[in-house]
Amino acid sequence: MSDAIKHECGIALIRLRKDYQYYINKYNTPLYGLNKLYLMMEKQVNRGQDGAGVANIKIDVPPGHRYISRYRSVEQNAVPDIFGKIYKKFRKALKDNKDKAKDAHWIQENVAFSGEVFLGHLRYGTHGQNEIENCHPMLRQSNWRSRNLVMAGNFNMTNVEELFDKLVSLGQHPKEKVDTVTVMEKIGHFLDEENQRQFEYFKSEYHNPELSDVIQDNIDLQRVLQRSCRDFDGGYAMCGMTGYGAAFVARDPAGIRPAFYYADDEVVVVASEKQAIKTSFNCNYDDIKEVQPGHALIINKNGDYSEKQFIDPIERKSCSFERIYFSRASDPDIYAERKQLGRLVIPQVLQEVNFDLKNTVFSYIPNTAETAFLGMIEGLEDYLAKERKKAIMEGVLFEKDLEDLLTFRPRVEKLISKDVKLRTFITNDADRNDMVAHVYDTTFEVIKKGVDNVVLIDDSIVRGTTLERSIVRLLDKLGPKKIVIVSSAPQIRYPDCYGIDMSRMKEFVAFRAAYQLLIERNMDDVLEDTLGRCLTAIELGTAHKENFVKAIYEPFTTEEISDKIAELVKPKDLKAELAIVYQTVDSLNKACPNDTGDWYFTGNYPTPGGNKVVNTAFVNFMKGVEMRAY
């Protein structure tokens, strides 16, 4: 999207199900698992460019040998940076031991990252500084192998304060009050208790060191997750590896965050996106399964796997932004859905250009909107086909009119392209705004000045700042009569608290538009009444029960808010007429029927914590508090 937001981390897990020697013999390399993990992470690098991390577990290596390895990086190209260091370790170890290059036993005892379980993570930080300590996987260490826990995830919790207090009540002393730490420590606590439970059960029958092996063979990870996740409120796809080699991927009860898996006789793999698995393992899309909401894919030490429920599922509300923007469109289902999103805005677009297709040019920005653009053009073709049929049925009197009708095609041009990436080291607001205005290139001399309309489709419009400072100004330089900006997503009205960096009310141009309309129409009482209801609910501890901020939008139609947005983002010196067209929520749900998580558009949050977050965010806005609401 033209208004860049941070979002959705990426996960990748691989479990080699056969003996390590098998892969060396079959694929003629000790790097089979690493190579596949690298490919899976590269195919999901769109999900996280703030940092990355990789961890590996070796199963059943003798005492005295390291069995957990981890690298993390916040370099600009974090994934190549990490794997470059790992591959260097292999080259260095085998340089003077070439005769050991196919000896699995020797490699596992002498080279890091030569285990059977791999976990990769790509980070888009929704909060916190971009430091290596904030990168997953996180490691909870112990001298007992079965108590070690390595975790990475794509998640945000709305109730971090409560989870932190729970840890304190259990007697822990957490080092930070962030969801990453609280989640890992909570699961780690109950993993410790499960270890103790098994110890108490078997201690009369076995003695150390045999007892340690018996404990890890009987640990019930489903029970661990049932006990640790029951008070989580948020969206999550959490991956964990234990020191003894078992692993799990747990998905939230509403299915907000995505998780997919594939298994054959050689591997079990998990990723945030289907296409990463498809590309890496050349499997059929039909063989890639979805981890069901409220379930965990649990992979035992011996490589057996099963999907087990650990919490009661609730109404499925998978994130619709995955379909609109986040996930790659190379997934055939997502590709079809994005094209449908483009088709479904055609009626509104035709009205905005007064059905004057001869004098209308269609384009898109950014590149991620290309698929919706293709759908929009197909929708225009469908419309023209119906118009041709209608004209022929009614009778066309002149041959030239018939020829024009049959040969006309929508006018399509690449009007704007991104030239450079704006670097975050530019911190001065004035300099940054000046740079934003120059990160796009424009194609000149394809618009009939004062005659043509320009229709440009975007994935979504969040803040509207890029439209105002750059895109609309650039289009105006082409001399069109009218500029129509189309969003393939509906109006973003409410904060997200499940993994996307959209947490402050003032950041949403739709909210600013509704706020301005209330002020202009002397409806300030709506603002004050909503503030009072939010404050009372927060004080009484009932803010999680209802989203009071919906009242801000209720007096207005979607079209009224869209018109006000156009006013807000319109530069004062703009010569062309400007209109903003948004996808409707009904059309969104029609295009993406299986992923109906639309709380940022409708305010219908899938968990109670979402209501608390939006009410708090509104209070923060009204009081001028610059902080996240969760």
Confidence class for position 468, pLDDT limits 50, 70, 90:
confident
Element (H, E) at 581: strand 577-582
Kindly report which listed range (394-398, 494-498, 586-590) carries the lowest average pLDDT score. 394-398
SS3 354: coil
Tell me what pLDDT residue 7 has.
54
Give the pLDDT mean for 125-133.
65
* pLDDT tens digits, one per residue of 227-277: 999 999 999 999 999 999 999 999 999 999 999 999 999 999 999 999 999
How far apart are alpha carbons 273 and 44 in whole angstroms?
7
Residues 299/305, Cβ–Cβ less than 8 Å = yes
pLDDT of residue 316: 96
Q: Using the structure block, give the residue that is written with the tokens 């769109």.
A: 46
- Which pTM was predicted? 0.91
pLDDT of 4 above 80: no
Task: Please say if the pLDDT value at position 187 is more than 50.
Answer: yes
Instruction: Tally Cβ neighbours within 10 Å of residue 520.
Output: 9
Residue 578 has pLDDT above 60, yes or no: yes
Alpha carbon 577 to chain centroid, angstroms: 35
**Tokens standing for 381?**
């073709």
Strands 360-364 and 411-412: parallel
Q: H-type helices in 135-229, by residue range?
A: 160-169, 179-202, 210-218, 221-228
Coil, helix or strand at residue 367:
helix
Q: Where are the beta strands (DSSP E) in 375-478?
A: 411-412, 416-418, 440-442, 453-458
Q: Judge whether 81 and 73 are in contact, CB under 8 Å.
A: yes
Least confident of 300-304, 469-473, 568-572, 600-604: 469-473
The model's confidence at residue 125, banded by pLDDT at 50, 70 and 90, is low
| Contact criterion met (CB below 8 Å) for 134 and 180 | yes
Q: Does residue 628 surpass a pLDDT of 80?
A: no
Closest CA to 416 of 474, 490, 360: 474
Predicted confidence (pLDDT) at residue 591 exceeds the cutoff of 80: yes
> Among 241-250, 427-436, 504-513, which is the least confidently predicted range?
427-436
CA distances from 31 to 25, 119, 299 (A): 11, 15, 21
- Residue 422 — pLDDT band, cuts 50, 70, 90? very low
pLDDT digits (tens, 9 = 90+) for 36-49: 999 999 999 988 77
Classify strands 260-263 and 482-487 as parallel, antiparallel or unpaired: unpaired
328-345: buried (b, 16+ CB within 10 Å) or exposed (e) per residue? bbebeebbbbbbbbbbbb
What is the phi/psi pair of residue 105, to 5°?
-60, -45
Q: Which of 213, 135, 152, 161 is nearest to 187 (CA)?
A: 152
CA dist 491 and 599 (Å) reads 11
Of the listed ranges 123-132, 415-424, 567-576, the one predicted with least confidence: 415-424
Residues facing 119 on adjacent strands: 13, 55
The residues near 303 (Cβ < 8 Å, ≥ 6 apart) are 15, 16, 17, 18, 268
Residue 8 has what pLDDT? 65
**Closest by Cα among 577, 596, 576, 578 to 586:** 596
In this structure, what token pair is assigned to residue 502? 């959209």
Return the top range by mean pLDDT from 322-331, 445-454, 479-488: 479-488
Q: What is the mean pLDDT of the chain?
A: 90
